[in-house]
Amino acid sequence: MSENKPVVLVTGASGFVGRHVVPALARGGWSVRRAVRNPEGGDDEVVIETIGPETDWGAALDGADAVVHLAARVHHKNEEHAVQLYRNVNIAGTLHLARCAAAAGVRQFIFVSTVLVHGRSNEGRAPFSENDVLTPRGLYGMSKAAAEAGLRTLARDSDMKISAVRPPLVYGAGAKGNFVLLTRAVNLGLPLPFAAIRNQRAFLAVQNLASFILHRLGHPDPASNFEIFLVADREQVSTPEFVTRLAEASGKRLRMFSVPPSVLGTLLGALGRQDTYDSLVGSLELDISKAMATGWQPQVSLDEGLRLALAAQDA
């Protein structure tokens, strides 16, 4: 580690977002210490096997100026039976890390939360903003909302600056979930039943998330110890438009046909996939004016973000 650079500890450094955030922070002048579960042989890593209420963060936080907390329990195949797991990792684990960071003299703590603390859709309402009353859905969204509440309380009794970032679907090279499923469908030329969908959704290129985190570390708010930010690409588009732009970025011919959204809802509901229906058919618009008021601007456009994602997959 360079003595001339501030040190930032990044949890979840080997995950999808972490693999983009770490080099962005390094390019931005930070000495990055990567918290990883499995050793990868780098001299910049510290092994943290599990994140929970009793994790020993001593060595990881020694000399650190900032923490970027990306690690979280995101999905579990038997979610209804995993309540304690979500509590241990996403709530108790996050708050224990934050308390340890504050005690170690860390000046800034960035917590990557989720837009799901607002719910899955703002259909018929104004775009979500940071001041909305939260209506989280699912164990993941509820656990992130609880962690945010705990961090807000911690910030009142601490000198550490805490920022909670609420991203929508993050796409890029190495992404999982709905983005990789859509990419595979487009690449295979599968016909997609999205043509009749009329919605507006926010998406976030992983490069734009990384750039906001870097910007926030360099521009903490001197007047507040706790701030929340909704962050997304500048352009918010419909599901069929997103898929069309994805096909254009991949150079594939898109095959899309119309199925009434009500029929899609019935089919997906019968399969127990209401969350998939919400993410495909529902609107999820975000007001990102607060993030942009800090001086941050999205680095890449939607089209450029998609091209970067696909180019890296083809490399």
Query: Which residues, in sequence order, are bridge partners of residue 166?
Result: 230
Alpha helices in 133-238 (DSSP H): 138-156, 178-188, 206-218
Return the amino acid letter for 178.
N
CA distance 224 to 217: 14
CA distance 93 to 46: 17
Residue tagged active-site, from 86, 140, 171, 277: 140
The verdict on whether 140 is a catalytic residue reads yes
The answer to whether the beta carbons of residues 21 and 212 sit under 8 Å apart is: no
The answer to whether the beta carbons of residues 138 and 79 sit under 8 Å apart is: yes
The answer to whether the beta carbons of residues 107 and 66 sit under 8 Å apart is: yes
CA distance 173 to 167: 17
Alpha helices in 90-169 (DSSP H): 94-103, 138-156
What are the structure tokens assigned to 112, written together?
A: 């990557």
CA distance 186 to 14: 27
Active site residues: 140
